Amino acid sequence: MPADLRPLRGLYAVTPETLNGAALYRAAEAACAGGAVLLQYRNKSSDAASRLADARALRAITTVCGTSFIINDDAELAHEVGADGVHVGRDDDDPAAARRRLGPAALIGVSCYNDAALAREARRAGADYVAFGAMFASATKPAAPVADRARFAEVADLGIARCAIGGITLDRAPRLIEAGADLLAVVSDLFDAPDISARARAYAQLF
């Protein structure tokens, strides 16, 4: 793991499944150059060989930028490419299993939806950050229930980073930070922007 990883506060870029290959790499590089502190590779539809190729390329990009590289829901892939960590959800690997596979230095994130109790369980299992959302109606996951911003304050005592995800836009972001979010996980509003680096910088400047 690189020694100069950025802290768990700021923009968390999550790659869209609509991008792959060279287009994905260019977009990821732009997000990292603009100041994303973490980049998550999320792809549940491509074959294993394509996912491995993408993950290796993104690992190289994030290493150059000093951005922490997270794999969604695949501790084995994270281990194979030397990612900095993994993000798991309700139906994925449990955080303790991911910790055992990736070691004590790995970053482990857990989706907690709108449930503070899940966040407390995740912390006990060794999570480094917990994610609440969808905070707003989301094009990425339109059926996801909307989470309450009060969750951030409710779990402030856990002493780990709190991440907001789902339907986040630049104009909505300040109210989430004010509510206690340390990380803003953004997909569409970042990667659909005409200038990804500029959009990433605009998010980074909020912190």
* Full-model pTM: 0.94
Mean per-residue pLDDT for 113-140? 92
For residue 3, name the pLDDT band (cuts at 50, 70, 90). Answer: very low
Neighbour-count burial for 4-28, b at 16+ CB within 10 Å, e otherwise: ebbebbbbbbbbbeebbeeebbebb
Rounded-to-integer distance, Cα 152 and Cα 161, Å:
10
- DSSP letter, residue 158: G
What would the pLDDT profile of 166-201 be if each residue is shown by its tens digit? 999 999 999 999 999 999 999 999 999 999 999 999
What would the pLDDT profile of 66-116 be if each residue is shown by its tens digit? 999 999 999 999 999 999 999 999 777 789 999 999 999 999 999 999 999
Structural tokens at position 127? 């999570």
Rounded-to-integer distance, Cα 82 and Cα 114, Å:
31
Above 70 in pLDDT, residue 6?
no
Mean per-residue pLDDT for 39-65? 97
The predicted structure's pLDDT at residue 78: 98
Q: Which domains does the chain have, with CATH numbers?
A: 10-204 (3.20.20.70)
Mean per-residue pLDDT for 57-64? 98
What would the pLDDT profile of 142-158 be if each residue is shown by its tens digit? 777 789 999 999 999 99
The predicted structure's pLDDT at residue 33: 98
Rounded-to-integer distance, Cα 38 and Cα 95, Å:
18
The predicted structure's pLDDT at residue 4: 46
